[in-house]
Chains A and B, each alone.
Chain A
Amino acid sequence: MSEALYVYQSVGVLVPLLGGAAFALPLFTLVIKRKVFYDAYTAFFSLVALVLASYNYVLVRAEGKPLLYAFGGWPPPLGISYEVDEFSAVLGVLTASVMFLIVAYSLWYTRFMRGYEWYYTLLLGLETGLLGCLYTGDVFNLFVMLEVLSISAYALVAFYRSRPQAVEAAMKYGIIGATATTIYFIALVFIYGALGTLNMADIALKSRLITAGVGPISPFSNGLFGNAFIAASLAIALSLWAFTYKAALFPNHFWLPDAHPEAPTPVSAALSGLVVNVGVYAVVRFLYTLFGPKSFLISFRDAVMWALLVLGIASGLVGALLMAVQSDVKRLLAYSTVSHIGLIFMGLSIGTSSVSEDVATLGLTAALYHTVNHSVGKALLFMGVGVFINLLGTRDLDKLSGSGKLSPLVMGAVIVGFLQLMGAPPLGGFFSKLLLYQSLIEAGLIVPAVLVIAISAVSILGYLKVIYGLWAKPLKEAPKQVAGMAVPKTVVLVMAVACIALGVLSPMVTGLLAGSINASFTDSGVRDYVNSFMSFAIYVVKYLGGG
Chain B
Amino acid sequence: MAININSYLFTVLTLAIFMNLAISLYGIFARPSLIKKIIALTILADTANTLAIMVGYRGWPSPSQPVKPPVLTVLKPSREVIKEFASTSVDPLPQALVLTAIVIGLAVTLFLVFLTLQIYRLYGTTDVRKVAKLRG
Taking beta carbons and an 8 Å cutoff, which residues of A are in contact with B?
A: 140, 143-144, 147, 150-151, 154-155, 158, 161-162, 164-165, 167-168, 170-171, 174-176, 178-179, 182, 185-186, 188-189, 192-193, 198
Q: Across the interface, which residues of A come within 8 angstroms of B122, CB to CB?
A: 162, 164, 167
Q: Check if B112 sits within 8 Å of A165, measured CB to CB.
A: no
Q: A182-B48, A186-B51 are in contact. Are A171 and B119 (CB under 8 A)?
A: yes
* Nearest CB on B from A164, distance (A): 4
Q: Across the interface, which residues of B come within 8 angstroms of A171, CB to CB?
A: 34, 112, 115-116, 119
The B9-50 residues at the A interface (CB cut-off 8 A) are 21, 25, 28, 34, 37-38, 41, 44-45, 48
Taking a contact as CB atoms closer than 8 A, the residue among A164, A168, A175, A189 that contacts B38 in the complex is A175
Q: Check if B111 sits within 8 Å of A179, measured CB to CB.
A: no
Q: B90 on the interface (CB 8 Å rule)?
A: no
Q: Across the interface, which residues of B come within 8 angstroms of A143, CB to CB?
A: 101
Main secondary structure on chain A at its contact with chain B? helix
Q: Which residue from chain B places its CB closest to the CB of A192 in the assembled complex?
A: B55
Q: Across the interface, which residues of B come within 8 angstroms of A168, CB to CB?
A: 119, 123, 131-132, 135
Q: B3 on the interface (CB 8 Å rule)?
A: no
Number of interface residues of B (CB under 8 A): 34
Q: Check if B111 sits within 8 Å of A151, measured CB to CB.
A: yes
* Nearest CB on A from B99, distance (A): 12
Q: Across the interface, which residues of A come within 8 angstroms of B123, CB to CB?
A: 164, 168
Q: How far, in whole Å, are A70 and B34 apart by their CA atoms in the complex? A: 41
Q: How far, in whole Å, are A533 and B25 apart by their CA atoms in the complex? A: 38
Q: How far, in whole Å, are A78 and B54 apart by their CA atoms in the complex? A: 20
Q: Across the interface, which residues of A come within 8 angstroms of B45, CB to CB?
A: 182, 185
Q: A175-B28, A178-B41, A188-B97 are in contact. Are A167 and B48 (CB under 8 A)?
A: no
Interface pairs (26), CB distance under 8 Å:
A140-B100, A147-B108, A150-B108, A151-B107, A151-B108, A155-B111, A167-B115, A167-B118, A168-B119, A168-B123, A168-B131, A168-B132, A171-B34, A171-B116, A174-B108, A174-B112, A175-B34, A175-B38, A178-B41, A182-B41, A182-B45, A185-B52, A186-B51, A189-B55, A189-B97, A192-B97
Q: B72 on the interface (CB 8 Å rule)?
A: no
Q: How far, in whole Å, are A168 and B135 apart by their CA atoms in the complex? A: 8
Q: B93 on the interface (CB 8 Å rule)?
A: yes
Q: Check if A165 sits within 8 Å of B135, measured CB to CB.
A: yes
Most A CB atoms within 10 A — which of B25, B41, B55, B107? B55
Taking a contact as CB atoms closer than 8 A, the residue among B21, B25, B51, B118 that contacts A158 in the complex is B118
Taking a contact as CB atoms closer than 8 A, the residue among A178, A192, A193 that contacts B112 in the complex is A178
Q: Across the interface, which residues of B come within 8 angstroms of A193, CB to CB?
A: 55
Q: Check if A174 sits within 8 Å of B97, measured CB to CB.
A: no
Q: B75 on the interface (CB 8 Å rule)?
A: no
Q: Which residue from chain A places its CB closest to the CB of B47 in the assembled complex?
A: A186
Q: Across the interface, which residues of A come within 8 angstroms of B119, CB to CB?
A: 164, 167-168, 171
* Nearest CB on A from B36, distance (A): 11
* Nearest CB on B from A210, distance (A): 20
Q: A154-B111, A185-B48, A193-B55 are in contact. Are A147 and B104 (CB under 8 A)?
A: yes
